Amino acid sequence: MALFYYWYIRMEKASFVFIDEFDAFYHFELSESVQRHLKQISGVQIFTTTHNTDLMSNDLLRPDSYFLLENNRIQDISELTEKELRQAHNLQKMYKAGAFNGR
């Protein structure tokens, strides 16, 4: 949590922050809490990466805020499925079922 605090106080002076594998050493529940705190910071665009699919939740971020990086390409998950992504969809379940493997 000390590292998160350091990020937090430094973000007041930034307009864009990129945090790679921000949750590499956190329990998934703590990772969700950190992501919620990051979301509340105003005036800063924050881009985080993770391998934690537990964070793929409409309760955390809108579906158009999730991207996949594969084969040196980054794509919005909404562009990888024929379905119109809605608030009620379980994004993690869809991801694990292969719904975002392309059209």
Structure confidence by residue, pLDDT tens digits, 13-67 = 788 988 899 888 888 888 898 899 888 888 889 899 999 999 999 889 999 899 9
| pLDDT value for 29 | 84
Q: pTM for this one?
A: 0.78
| pLDDT value for 102 | 59
* Token code pair at residue 82: 């024929």
Name the phi and psi angles at 5, rounded to 5.
Answer: -60, -45
| pLDDT value for 17 | 84
Query: What is the length of the chain?
Result: 103
Interval 64-94: pLDDT, tens: 899 998 889 999 999 999 888 988 899 999 9
Contact (Cβ atoms closer than 8 angstroms) between residue 68 and residue 75 = yes
Dihedral sign (CA 15, 39, 8, 43): positive
